[in-house]
A and B are shown apart, each in its own frame.
Chain A
C-alpha cells in the first residue's frame, strides 16, 4: 500500500532484521552517540563505511534508497554551500591553521582547512542519516516500542510511538477521502490552474474535517485501550519481542565495546581537551 511510508510492518529476514528490538535500539543509540561525540575522521570514516555496509545488508528497495540518499546528500551539500557563503573561513577556527588553496574574492578564500572540515562534517552527517535509515528500515514499530522500553523509557511513551505508526495510514486514508469529496465539489488542487496561496487555503479546508474525524477516533482508541487494561501495571511485556537469537548474543559484547569506546572518547575530551575540535592530519 502506498501509505506505508518507509516503515516495515512485517519483520524481514536478514541478519539485522532478525535481531530483537532491544538489540536494534541499543546498537543504534550507541552508534549515534559515538557519531555525536567525535569530530575525528579516524572514528567517523569507519563508522561511515559501517553505515553503508549496514544499509546494504538489509537489502532495501534500491530505487527508494537511491532517491532518499540523493536527496539527503544534496541537502547536506546545500547546507555546506550556505555555510561557506556566510563564513568562508569557518574551518580555520575549528581545525587550526590556514592553507590557502585559491582566492575567489578577498572575502571568499578557499582554504584546505575549511574543505577538510566540510568533508568531516559531510561524512558525519551522512553516516548519522544512513544509520537512522537502516534502523527505520529494519525495525517494526512494535519492536521499536519494545526496544525503547528495554532502555528504561516509560512504556506509555513507547506505545505512543507504535500507535502513531498504526494510525498514520488510517489518517492518510481519511485525508484522501476528504480531498476527493471536496474535489468533486469543485476544489481545484491542480498546481497548473491555481496559485500556491489559494492551494494552501484549500488544504486548510481539508484539515477541518480531518481533525474532527481524528478526534472521534482518538476517543474510541482510548476506550479500547482502557478496556484491555492498558496502564494497569508499572511494567509490561511485548509480544513482538522474541527471544535472543544467535545474532543478539554476538551483538551484546559489541554493544559493550562500542559503549566503552564512547565513554573513553568523552572522558578523553574532558580530561585532555584538544586545542582544536577537528583532528586534521597535517596540523600538529
Chain B
C-alpha cells in the first residue's frame, strides 16, 4: 500500500476578498512517488490548490479554510510556510520574476542561504543541484543572459535541496517555446525517476505535458474535482472539449475519423501508440476529405515588401538578407524559437529599429524614411503583455489616446473610436474602468486602441501566451473575425504550433537570424528538415499520418480544413 503524502479531506477555501469559495469540498489523496497532472481551465482553482499544498495559502493569501489538508504529515493550517517549504519545492510560472539571485549559483543557493548553511557546504550542494538540472557550466552567468528555459531549470535546481519530497510546478510551460517545453517536461520526468520525488504539475497544456508519462490526471473545474483518472481514460472521454481544454491534436484527428478509442492502448503517447485497429478507418476518412492539390495563392495587393534587409545588434547576433512580402488580407504566423529573430523582424517592420542595409516598403513607399509614429498608422503593433500598453483608466480614454496623440480632428477621433470599439465588441462597455477587465478583454482594449488608427496590418505578439484554451479561442476567433470581416492583414508572432495550424494560412519560419521557410502552414509543419533546423516541435499529426501511411502534408491540410469547417458550423 503506497503511503499518502498529501491528503485533502472535505477541504474548502475562500479568498478573503471573495464571497464565493474557490475550492469546494475537495477530497484528494496523493501518494509518495506519484507523478500527477492537475489540469483545468483558468480560474478553475488549480493554482489555488497548488498554493494550498505549498503553504502560500493561508500564509500569504488570507482566507477561510474549512476541512483538512495534510502535507508530509503537517496540517498546513497549523504548520508554517517555512516548515512546509522544506518538504515542498515550488517552481512558479514566471521564470524571470522568481530568479532572485544575481547569478545562477546564487539563485540555486538562495534557500540554502536562508537556512544559514555554511558556505563550504553550500558550494557542494549548489554544484550537485546545478548538475542535476544541466546548468553546471553556467554557475557564474547572470539572469539577463539566460533563456526562459534555462531560468526555469535554475528555479528547479533551487528547490531540490534539503530532501524536499514534493516538487510542485505551477504552469511551468507558460513562458517556454515548444522545444524548451519538451526539455523541461523531460527534465521533470528524469528527476521524478532518479530522485524518487512526488511530482505535481499544474498545467493546461495537456499535449505538452503528456510528452512524458504521468500516473494520474486530476481535472479541476469550478473549484471541484471533476475527474481523477489515468491519462488514457481522460483522452477517451469527451470531457476535455466540454471543459474548454485543448485535446492533443492526434486525439482530435482520431476522433474526427470516428475511431473507437477504447480499442487503442498507450493513447497518451503519440509515439508509442499502435493504431493498427483503426488504421483503415483513418485512411478512409482521409480519402473522403482529401484536399484538392491546387494551392490557392493569395491574390491581395502587395502591402509590404522586405528586400535584402540585414540588421546587426553589434554582438554575435544578426539578421541576414531577409526577403518576403505581405499581401492584403493574409494571415501569417511568424514562428521560430526564442531569439531566432522574430521580434527583431517585428521591430524592423514597425520602425523601432532600422536595418543596416536593405529596403522596406509599404505600398511602394519607403518606410525607412518615416518616423515610428508615421509607420504606426500603417502597421499596428500589439504587444504581448496588455498591462505594458494600457496607459489610461477608462476604456474609451485608452482607445482615444492614439488618435489624440496623432492630432486627429474631434469628429474623426469620435468616428474612429466608435468604430474600433464596435469592432472589438467593447462599445457597450466603453465607460468601464480597465482594471475590472479580464486578461482577454484587456487584450481586446489594446487591439482597439491600435485599430482606431486604421492600420492596414496588425502585428500581434504572442496573442495567447499564458491563456487557457477557452480564452485562447476567444481571442483567436476575434482576430479571425477582424481578418475576415474587415480585411485586416494579421501577422502573428508565436511559438504556439497549434495557433499556426488553426488560424493562419502561411508561416514564415525564423532560425538564427535567417528565414528558413516561407510557405503554407501545412507544408512548413510537415517538413521534418525545417522543424529540426528551427528547433521546433514536430506536431503529433505528423506522427499519426506516418503511422497511417498518409502523406503528412496532405494529412495536416485535410485536418486543418476539417477543423475550420467544424468551427464555422459550430458558430
Taking a contact as CB atoms under 8 Å apart, the answer to whether B387 and A228 are in contact is no
Measured between beta carbons, the chain B residues less than 8 angstroms from A220 are: 92, 94, 97-98
A241 to B, closest residue via Cβ? B119
Give CA–CA (A140, B158) in the complex, Å.
Answer: 21
Contact status of A177 and B388, CB under 8 A, knowing A228-B110, A237-B112: yes
B368 within 8 A of A: no
Question: Smallest CB–CB gap between A205 and chain B, Å?
Answer: 5
Measured between beta carbons, the chain A residues less than 8 angstroms from B94 are: 220
Measured between beta carbons, the chain B residues less than 8 angstroms from A141 are: 102
Contact status of A225 and B389, CB under 8 A, knowing A142-B106, A181-B383, A186-B373: no
Question: Smallest CB–CB gap between B355 and chain A, Å?
Answer: 17
Q: How large is the interface on B (under 10, 10 to 19, 20 to 34, 35 or more residues)?
A: 35 or more
Contact status of A181 and B389, CB under 8 A, knowing A231-B114, A239-B106: yes
Measured between beta carbons, the chain A residues less than 8 angstroms from B405 are: 182, 185-188
A140, A209, A224, A238: most-surrounded residue (chain B CB, <10 A): A224
B230 within 8 A of A: no
Question: Smallest CB–CB gap between A101 and chain B, Å?
Answer: 53
Contact status of A224 and B97, CB under 8 A, knowing A183-B372, A188-B373, A229-B85: yes
A217 within 8 A of B: yes
Which of these, B115, B381, B389, contacts A232 with CB under 8 Å? B115
Which of these, B99, B101, B142, B406, contacts A10 with CB under 8 Å? B142
A180 to B, closest residue via Cβ? B352
A86 within 8 A of B: no
Taking a contact as CB atoms under 8 Å apart, the answer to whether A223 and B119 are in contact is no
Contact status of A227 and B85, CB under 8 A, knowing A166-B143, A241-B119: yes
Give CA–CA (A184, B453) in the complex, Å.
Answer: 10
A169 within 8 A of B: yes
A87 within 8 A of B: no
B450 to A, closest residue via Cβ? A185
Question: Smallest CB–CB gap between A183 and chain B, Å?
Answer: 5
A150 within 8 A of B: no
Number of A-B contacts (CB under 8 A): 175
Measured between beta carbons, the chain A residues less than 8 angstroms from B98 are: 220-221, 224
Measured between beta carbons, the chain B residues less than 8 angstroms from A212 are: 387, 390
Measured between beta carbons, the chain A residues less than 8 angstroms from B472 are: none
Residues 89-147 of B contacting A (Cβ, < 8 Å): 90, 92, 94, 96-103, 105-106, 109-120, 122-123, 126, 140, 142-144
Measured between beta carbons, the chain A residues less than 8 angstroms from B105 are: 239
Give CA–CA (A209, B446) in the complex, Å.
Answer: 12
Taking a contact as CB atoms under 8 Å apart, the answer to whether B453 and A185 are in contact is yes
Measured between beta carbons, the chain A residues less than 8 angstroms from B381 are: 181, 184
Question: Smallest CB–CB gap between A260 and chain B, Å?
Answer: 30
A73 within 8 A of B: no
Taking a contact as CB atoms under 8 Å apart, the answer to whether A182 and B112 are in contact is no
Taking a contact as CB atoms under 8 Å apart, the answer to whether A236 and B114 are in contact is yes
Taking a contact as CB atoms under 8 Å apart, the answer to whether A186 and B113 are in contact is no
Which of these, A4, A216, A237, A242, contacts B118 with CB under 8 Å? A237
Residues 141-170 of A contacting B (Cβ, < 8 Å): 141-142, 162-163, 165-166, 169-170
Measured between beta carbons, the chain B residues less than 8 angstroms from A225 are: 100, 110
- Which of B52-60, B171-179, B419-427, B509-517 lies at the interface with chain A? B52-60
Measured between beta carbons, the chain B residues less than 8 angstroms from A186 are: 373, 376-377, 402-407, 453
Taking a contact as CB atoms under 8 Å apart, the answer to whether A221 and B100 are in contact is yes
Taking a contact as CB atoms under 8 Å apart, the answer to whether A9 and B402 are in contact is no
Contact status of A165 and B387, CB under 8 A, knowing A223-B56, A229-B82, A229-B115: no
Taking a contact as CB atoms under 8 Å apart, the answer to whether A229 and B392 are in contact is no
Give CA–CA (A11, B109) in the complex, Å.
Answer: 17
A180, A188, A237: most-surrounded residue (chain B CB, <10 A): A237
B494 within 8 A of A: no
Taking a contact as CB atoms under 8 Å apart, the answer to whether A228 and B391 are in contact is no
Which of these, B59, B143, B376, contacts A183 with CB under 8 Å? B376
Measured between beta carbons, the chain A residues less than 8 angstroms from B96 are: 170
B303 within 8 A of A: no
Taking a contact as CB atoms under 8 Å apart, the answer to whether A223 and B92 are in contact is yes
A208 within 8 A of B: yes
Interface string of B339-361 (1 = CB under 8 A from A): 00000000000111000000000
Taking a contact as CB atoms under 8 Å apart, the answer to whether A226 and B56 are in contact is yes
Residues 2-55 of A contacting B (Cβ, < 8 Å): 4, 9-10
Taking a contact as CB atoms under 8 Å apart, the answer to whether A178 and B388 are in contact is yes
Measured between beta carbons, the chain B residues less than 8 angstroms from A182 are: 391, 405
Taking a contact as CB atoms under 8 Å apart, the answer to whether B142 and A9 are in contact is yes
B80 to A, closest residue via Cβ? A232
Give CA–CA (A183, B371) in the complex, Å.
Answer: 9
B109 to A, closest residue via Cβ? A239
Give CA–CA (A238, B102) in the complex, Å.
Answer: 12
Taking a contact as CB atoms under 8 Å apart, the answer to whether B114 and A232 are in contact is yes
B100, B380, B383, B449: most-surrounded residue (chain A CB, <10 A): B100
Which of these, B106, B143, B376, contacts A240 with CB under 8 Å? B106
Residues 385-435 of B contacting A (Cβ, < 8 Å): 385, 387-392, 401-407
Residues 65-105 of B contacting A (Cβ, < 8 Å): 81-82, 85-86, 90, 92, 94, 96-103, 105
Taking a contact as CB atoms under 8 Å apart, the answer to whether B350 and A184 are in contact is yes
Residues 178-214 of A contacting B (Cβ, < 8 Å): 178, 180-188, 190, 205-206, 208-209, 212-213
Measured between beta carbons, the chain B residues less than 8 angstroms from A208 are: 390-392
A283 within 8 A of B: no
Measured between beta carbons, the chain B residues less than 8 angstroms from A232 are: 82, 114-115
A233 within 8 A of B: yes
Taking a contact as CB atoms under 8 Å apart, the answer to whether B113 and A185 are in contact is no
B54, B101, B113, B376: most-surrounded residue (chain A CB, <10 A): B113
Taking a contact as CB atoms under 8 Å apart, the answer to whether A165 and B102 are in contact is yes
Measured between beta carbons, the chain A residues less than 8 angstroms from B387 are: 209, 212-213, 216
Measured between beta carbons, the chain A residues less than 8 angstroms from B453 are: 185-186
Give CA–CA (A10, B142) in the complex, Å.
Answer: 8
Measured between beta carbons, the chain B residues less than 8 angstroms from A221 are: 97-98, 100
A271 within 8 A of B: no
Question: Smallest CB–CB gap between B451 and chain A, Å?
Answer: 11
Question: Smallest CB–CB gap between A60 and chain B, Å?
Answer: 19
B545 within 8 A of A: no
Give CA–CA (A239, B113) in the complex, Å.
Answer: 7
Contact status of A239 and B126, CB under 8 A, knowing A177-B383, A184-B376, A225-B100: yes
Measured between beta carbons, the chain B residues less than 8 angstroms from A178 are: 388-389, 391
B159 within 8 A of A: yes
Contact status of A233 and B350, CB under 8 A, knowing A224-B97, A226-B81, A241-B119: no
Q: A217-B97, A227-B159, A242-B119 are in contact. List 15 more A-B contacts (CB 8 A).
A: A142-B103, A142-B106, A166-B100, A182-B391, A183-B373, A185-B401, A185-B453, A186-B404, A186-B405, A223-B56, A226-B56, A227-B92, A229-B115, A231-B114, A238-B113
Residues of A bordering B, CB below 8 Å:
1, 4, 9-10, 140-142, 162-163, 165-166, 169-170, 174, 177-178, 180-188, 190, 205-206, 208-209, 212-213, 216-217, 220-233, 235-243
Q: When A and B form their complex, which 8 residue pairs have the shortest distance between CB atoms, in order from nearest?
A: A186-B405, A239-B109, A224-B98, A184-B376, A220-B97, A186-B406, A228-B111, A185-B402
Q: Could you list 10 examples of A-B contacts with CB < 8 Å?
A: A4-B144, A10-B140, A142-B106, A184-B380, A186-B405, A190-B371, A206-B391, A216-B387, A227-B55, A231-B114
